[in-house]
Amino acid sequence: MKRKDNLSRVENAAKAEDIWDLVVIGGGASGLGVALDALSRGLTVLLLEKSDFAKGTSSRSTKLVHGGVRYLAQGELGLVLEALKERGRLLKNAPHLTVNQSFVIPLYTFLDRWKYSIGLKIYDWMAGSLRLGKSSFVSKEETLKKLPRIRKKGLRGGIVYQDGQFDDARLALMVARTCNDMGGCMVNYAKVNELSKDEKGKIEGLTFRDVIEKKSYQVKARTVINATGVFADKILQMDQPGTPKMIQPSQGVHLVMDSSFLGATDALMIPETSDGRVLFAVPWQGKLVVGTTDTLRKKPKMEPQPLSSEIDFILETAGQYLEKAPTRDDVLSVFAGLRPLAAPKEGSTKTKEISRSHKVIVSDSQLITITGGKWTTFRKMGEDTVDAHYKMHALKAVESKSADKRLHGYTDTLVKGHLQLYGSEAKEIRHLQDTNPEWSKPIHENYPYTGAEVIWAVREEMAQKIEDFLSRRCRILLLDAKAALHMAPKVAALMASELGKDEAWIMSELEEFYKLAKKYLIHK
């Protein structure tokens, strides 16, 4: 996947006055889902992302591919059924990026046993043939074997169930590369500035700027899709100034700490916190991810900041269930994401009352906007959006073929270790390591990432900035922010040499990255 090649395609299409069937604005979960589905139906697709793929919310999830046990309790059966079906498909289509994860709900009252046993049996039944395993009650002794570091006092046993886990940013990247393989034109660092309309006020294209090379492009489109998540209102305003606000950003914060706090490969699920939410403590890439929160925020931001109260809430709640209560000093990294919830009705402020299902909206100008949803259902969101394209133009819909599309890197023979995330391309990374001894060395003494992965990220994965590698090609910024700061100079030097950049670029990139990385550290 080469950025220069794709920009050349855009230029050539403009010269030939070609019209793209779909131009998708947004390179997160929803935009990538739209591109994947449209390409599976033979449509021509250009996708534009103003920053890097999955830079926003889509790289800051709880890393779960799940049906949503909480939505079951709220009676959103349709949403759970859809998500369970999509969960099964994703685990089949991307075995290199997903795993079947075992979760344990510790039980401290007799009533909890029956309440959660019944709920999870329904969850199992709804998953049908795509079920990942049966839920079951386990004794107190068995619960402590699975979660040796949880609070023993009052423990009566536990419920074990299965759900999926994944690497969200790597999945986004592999979907982008799958789309590229299918003939899609994927461009990151491409900021849309203006929507162009015909004499009837219908959208017929747009203008975007290449943020890296500072060059503008005009493109023509049959349909423009607004898949910008929490920033959807900005595109709606660009289309029709004065449009009422449609998105209510809700912040979810996660703390990352050493895996010894749980001391297990099973994950802990706390089904009801003091604010009525679910809290997870999930082993992920050698660390423990604990979260999340649900805090309404006024404005969407590319780098949302966790509130001190959110950090305290997660630490206090985790401390009630873990033998050793974590403190601020134990947090290796903290990250926040914004959910694009539908703006609530007047007077309502409870985020848990706002539906998590997705919505497809068609404006008078024929701009199609997709909002809501979650990573698990990204493909189905795409399918529904592409259906709206056919309906809007009164075209006979071509059948979607995205449900069985294997993602880039798919392989039946997974390698062990962190290179598994590269799937069938792990051997290419090893080949790069063999060709240059410098590239085979780890960039940090405590982590396995090598220079070869930086080179690969630039050559094949459109990495343009230090952050692209340290935050999303490998996940070290989210796993250990101090280690990411330590790795930055080596990564900058490798990227500069591969991209043909000078010392001034290195200094500017490092300054920018240091400023960013400090936001992932908790300040006492």
Task: Supply the pLDDT for residue 223.
Answer: 98
**For residue 80, what are its two tokens?**
């759970």
Task: Supply the pLDDT for residue 344.
Answer: 58
Task: Supply the pLDDT for residue 190.
Answer: 98
Task: Supply the pLDDT for residue 67.
Answer: 80
Task: Supply the pLDDT for residue 272.
Answer: 81
Across residues 83-98, what is the average pLDDT? Answer: 95
> Quick check: 114 pLDDT over 90?
no
Q: Please list, residue by residue across 178-200, b when 16 or more beta carbons sit within 10 angstroms of its beta carbon and e when fewer do.
A: bbbebebbbbbbbebeebebeee
Across residues 424-448, what is the average pLDDT? Answer: 96
> Quick check: 426 pLDDT over 80?
yes
Task: Supply the pLDDT for residue 373.
Answer: 85
Across residues 498-502, what is the average pLDDT? Answer: 97
> Quick check: 492 pLDDT over 70?
yes
> Quick check: 93 pLDDT over 90?
yes
Confidence at 271, pLDDT banded by 50, 70, 90: confident
DSSP one-letter string for 392-434? HTTPPPPPP-GGGPPPTT--SSPPSSGGGGGGGGHHHHHHHHH
Across residues 303-321, what is the average pLDDT? Answer: 95
- Measured CA to CA, the distance from residue 63 to residue 160 in angstroms comes to 19
Task: Supply the pLDDT for residue 440.
Answer: 96
Lowest mean pLDDT, pick from 258-267, 345-354, 498-507 = 345-354
**For residue 382, what are its two tokens?**
């795409």
Q: Model confidence over 130-183: pLDDT tens digits?
A: 788 899 999 999 999 999 999 999 999 999 999 999 999 999 999 999 999 999
In CATH, which superfamily holds the domain spanning 418-520? Answer: Alpha-glycerophosphate oxidase, cap domain (1.10.8.870)
Q: Is the dihedral of CA 479, 482, 487, 488 positive or negative?
A: positive
Lowest mean pLDDT, pick from 119-128, 291-300, 357-366, 503-512 = 119-128
- Measured CA to CA, the distance from residue 520 to residue 508 in angstroms comes to 20
The three-state secondary structure class of 27 is coil
Strands 98-107 and 157-166, sheet pairing: antiparallel
Q: How many CA atoms are closer than 13 Å to the CA of 33, on its beta-carbon side?
A: 29
Q: How many CA atoms are closer than 13 Å to the CA of 400, on its beta-carbon side?
A: 21
How many other C-beta atoms lie within 10 A of the C-beta of residue 250?
20
103 and 283 Cβ atoms separated by less than 8 Å: no
Task: Supply the pLDDT for residue 307.
Answer: 96
Task: Supply the pLDDT for residue 199.
Answer: 97
Paired strand residues for 104: 160, 268
**For residue 453, what are its two tokens?**
């992965």
> Quick check: 252 pLDDT over 60?
yes
Domain boundaries, the chain: 3-57+169-246+353-404, 418-520
Confidence at 524, pLDDT banded by 50, 70, 90: low
> Quick check: 128 pLDDT over 90?
no
How confident is the prediction for the chain on average, in pLDDT? 93
The three-state secondary structure class of 483 is helix
Strands 267-270 and 190-197, sheet pairing: unpaired
> Quick check: 86 pLDDT over 50?
yes
Residue range 3-57+169-246+353-404, CATH number: 3.50.50.60
Question: Could you identify the residue written with the tokens 């692209």?
Answer: 468
Chain-centroid distance, C-alpha 69? 19
Across residues 422-451, what is the average pLDDT? Answer: 96
Confidence at 215, pLDDT banded by 50, 70, 90: very high
Task: Supply the pLDDT for residue 348.
Answer: 46
Confidence at 523, pLDDT banded by 50, 70, 90: confident
- Please state, for a pLDDT cut of 70, what percent of the chain lies above it: 97
Task: Supply the pLDDT for residue 277.
Answer: 78
Task: Supply the pLDDT for residue 379.
Answer: 97
Element (H, E) at 73: helix 69-73
Supply the pTM of this predicted model: 0.95
> Quick check: 389 pLDDT over 60?
yes
Residue predicted with more confidence, 69 or 489: 489
Lowest mean pLDDT, pick from 278-282, 285-289, 479-483 = 278-282
Element (H, E) at 218: strand 215-226
